[in-house]
C-alpha cells in the first residue's frame, strides 16, 4: 500500500500507538521528513511535539564512515570499533565533533526559534521518521534519546524493510511499523506525494504544536504513587576545599534524600544517573546529583581515582544535604563513585541510611571501609560485565552489613541495553524505600572525615 502523503502516513501510524494516549509521552520528529508524520502522531495522542536533531560523526577523509553521533545536551554515542580501526586520536575526534556540534546547534536554533527543548528524562520518547532505509539515522536517534534518560524509547515509522525493523528492535524498547517489506527500494516509492519538506515547514509545525500544547505541563495527571514534581535547583556545596556544583530536587513530603556519587569521567549531568534520579523523584525521594571534582580537578586522572578525597567530599555534601532538607541520607554510587560511597558510609557518625551501587567498583574502597560499613548495601551489576561482577563478589565477601548482589540479565557495564537501566532504577527505588525506617547498626569507631 502506498500512502497519499506524510500526513496520511502519520494518521495511520498514530493508530498503532493508541496505547500511549493519556501517558507521559513526548513525540520527537526527525527533520525534515519526519516532522509532518510526527505532527499527526502528536496531535492524535494529545502529546507535545519536538524536533530531534542528530549529527553523524564521520571519519576525516571518509565522512560516510561514522565513528559516532551527537545530540543535544552534550549527548555523544561512539563506536569504539570504528575509532580503533580508523586509528583516530582524541584530537581528531574532538575536531569532528566541534564542527558537527556547531551545525547541530544552528539547526536547533533555526527550528525551535528560541523555545526550550522538551524534557525527555523519565518520559516515553516516541521517535518518528517518514520511513527507514538502512535505519542508521533512526538507530543513532534512539541511542541519543536513551542517552537523554528517556524511560522508554519507541521508534515509529510508517514503512521500512523487515531486516531494518528486526535490527532496531535491539536498540529501541519497541518498534511500531504498519508496513514492513522484504524487498523495499526507497522510502519515497511508498508515497504518492513525497515532496521534500522545507525548513520553513518544520519550523511552522513546531510553532503550531507549541501553541497547542503547554510545554511546561505534563501531558497526563500523575498516577497512583507518583508525587508532584517540585522546583529543582542548582546549588553550590562547600566540601573539602572546593565548591561543588550540584542539582537538588526535593518532592513534597520526601521521606529521604539520595546523594549520587558519579564515576570517573562523569558528573551531575550524567544521563544514566539523571534517569535513575528521575525514577527516585517519582517515588517521592529527594535527590542530589553532584560533581565531586571541579572542572580543573577532573582533568587530573589522579584525582578521579582518589577515592578518599571523593569520599570526604561526598560525606561533607551529605552533611549539607541533611541540614538543607532535614532528611536522612542514602548514597547511590556508580563506577568509582561506588567506592567513594562505601568509604563515606564507613566514616564514624555518617548516619547513612542505605547504599546502592550501579556497575560499581567497591573493590577500590579500602578493606577497612568494607568491613566497617553498616548501611544496607545493594550492588547492581550487569551479567555481561563479568570482570566487574567478579570484583563485586570479592568486595561483598569483606562486608558484614546487610548486602546483596543483583545481577541484571543481558546488561553490560553502562546498562545501555533496552530495559536494563529501567531495571536498575526499579532495584534502587525498592532498596531505598525498603530501608527508609530501618536505623543502621552502629559501626565500631574508625575515623572521622
Rounded CA-CA distance 222/191 in Å is 39
Helix axes 6-15, 34-45, angle to 10 degrees: 40
β-strand 242-249 against 257-261: which pairing, if any?
unpaired
- Write down the pLDDT at residue 226: 38
CB within 8 Å of 80: residues ≥ 6 apart: none
What cell was used for 367? 578493606
- Of 291, 286, 297, whose CA–CA distance to 244 is shortest? 291
Q: Are 25 and 47 in contact (CB under 8 A)?
A: yes
Rg (CA), the chain: 23
β-strand 124-128 against 174-176: which pairing, if any?
unpaired
Rounded CA-CA distance 9/187 in Å is 12
Percent of the chain with pLDDT over 70: 92
- Write down the pLDDT at residue 6: 95
- Write down the pLDDT at residue 265: 60
> At residue 227, does pLDDT exceed 70?
no
CB within 8 Å of 144: residues ≥ 6 apart: 52, 54, 69, 70, 71, 75, 77
pLDDT in tens, 4-14: 999 999 999 99
CATH number of 233-434: 3.40.50.1820
CB within 8 Å of 9: residues ≥ 6 apart: 3, 37, 40, 130, 158, 159, 191
Backbone φ and ψ of 300, nearest 5°? -95, 110
pLDDT in tens, 27-84: 999 999 999 999 999 999 999 999 999 888 889 988 878 888 788 767 777 888 889 9
Rounded CA-CA distance 316/222 in Å is 34
pLDDT in tens, 171-201: 899 999 999 988 888 899 999 999 999 999 9
Looking at the chain, the domain(s) classified CATH 3.40.50.1820 span 233-434
CATH number of 6-212: 3.40.50.2020
Report, as an integer, the average pLDDT of 258-275: 80
> C-alpha angle 299/302/307, rounded to 5°?
115
The chain-wide mean pLDDT, for the chain, equals: 87
> At residue 298, does pLDDT exceed 80?
no
What cell was used for 96? 569532528
pLDDT confidence band for 228 (50 / 70 / 90) = very low
> At residue 345, does pLDDT exceed 90?
yes
pLDDT in tens, 103-143: 988 988 999 998 888 888 888 999 999 998 878 788 888 98
Q: Are 348 and 445 in contact (CB under 8 A)?
A: yes
> What's the pTM?
0.55
Going 218 to 220 to 221 to 224, the CA torsion angle's sign is: negative
pLDDT confidence band for 358 (50 / 70 / 90) = very high
Beta bridge partners of 365: none
Percent of the chain with pLDDT over 90: 55
Looking at the chain, the domain(s) classified CATH 3.40.50.2020 span 6-212
Amino acid at each position: 500500500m502506498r500512502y497519499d502523503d506524510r500526513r496520511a502516513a502519520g494518521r495511520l501510524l498514530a493508530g498503532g500507538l493508541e496505547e500511549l494516549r493519556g501517558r507521559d509521552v513526548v513525540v520527537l520528529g526527525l527533520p525534515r521528513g519526519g516532522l509532518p508524520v510526527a505532527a499527526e502522531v502528536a496531535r492524535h495522542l494529545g502529546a507535545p511535539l519536538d524536533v530531534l536533531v542528530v549529527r553523524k560523526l564521520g571519519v576525516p577523509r571518509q565522512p560516510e564512515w561514522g565513528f559516532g553521533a551527537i545530540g543535544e545536551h552534550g549527548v555523544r554515542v561512539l563506536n569504539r570499533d570504528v575509532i580503533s580501526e580508523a586509528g583516530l586520536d582524541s584530537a581528531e575526534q574532538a575536531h569532528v565533533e566541534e564542527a558537527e556540534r556547531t551545525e547541530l546547534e544552528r539547526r536547533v536554533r533555526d527550528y525551535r526559534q528560541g523555545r526550550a527543548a522538551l524534557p525527555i528524562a523519565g518520559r516515553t520518547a516516541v521517535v518518528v521518521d517518514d520511513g527507514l532505509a538502512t535505519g542508521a539515522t533512526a538507530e543513532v536517534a534512539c541511542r541519543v534519546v536513551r542517552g537523554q534518560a528517556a524511560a522508554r524509547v519507541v521508534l515509529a515509522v510508517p514503512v521500512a524493510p523487515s531486516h531494518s525493523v528486526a535490527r532496531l528492535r535491539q536498540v529501541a524498547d519497541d518498534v511500531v511499523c504498519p508496513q514492513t517489506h522484504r524487498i523495499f527500494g526507497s522510502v519515497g516509492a511508498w508515497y504518492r506525494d513525497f515532496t521534500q519538506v522545507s525548513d520553513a515547514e518544520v519550523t511552522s509545525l513546531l510553532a503550531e504544536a507549541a501553541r497547542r500544547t503547554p510545554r511546561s505541563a505534563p501531558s497526563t495527571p500523575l498516577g497512583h504513587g507518583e508525587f508532584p514534581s517540585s522546583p529543582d535547583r542548582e546549588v553550590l556545596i562547600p566540601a573539602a576545599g572546593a565548591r561543588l556544583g550540584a542539582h537538588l530536587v526535593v518532592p513534597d513530603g520526601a521521606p529521604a534524600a539520595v546523594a549520587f556519587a558519579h564515576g570517573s569521567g562523569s558528573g551531575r549531568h550524567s544521563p544514566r544517573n539523571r534517569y535513575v534520579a528521575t525514577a527516585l523523584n517519582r517515588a517521592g525521594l529527594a535527590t542530589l546529583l553532584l560533581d565531586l571534582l571541579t572542572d580543573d580537578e577532573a582533568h587530573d586522572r589522579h584525582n578521579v581515582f582518589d577515592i578518599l578525597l571523593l569520599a570526604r567530599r561526598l560525606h561533607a555534601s551529605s552533611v549539607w544535604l541533611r541540614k538543607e532538607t532535614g532528611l536522612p541520607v542514602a548514597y547511590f554510587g556508580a563506577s568509582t563513585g561506588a567506592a567513594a560511597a562505601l568509604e563515606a558510609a564507613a566514616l564514624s557518625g555518617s548516619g547513612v541510611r542505605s547504599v546502592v551501587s550501579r556497575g560499581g567498583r567497591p573493590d577500590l574502597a579500602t578493606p577497612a571501609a568494607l568491613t566497617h560499613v553498616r548501611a544496607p548495601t545493594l550492588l547492581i551489576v550487569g551479567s555481561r560485565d563479568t570482570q566487574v561482577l567478579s570484583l563485586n563478589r570479592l568486595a561483598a565477601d569483606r562486608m558484614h552489613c546487610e548486602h546483596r548482589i543483583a545481577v541484571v540479565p543481558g546488561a553490560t557495564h553502562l546498562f545501555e541495553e533496552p530495559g536494563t537501566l529501567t531495571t536498575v532504577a526499579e532495584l534502587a527505588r525498592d532498596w531505598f524505600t525498603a530501608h527508609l525506617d530501618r536505623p543502621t547498626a552502629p559501626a565500631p569507631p574508625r575515623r572521622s572525615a
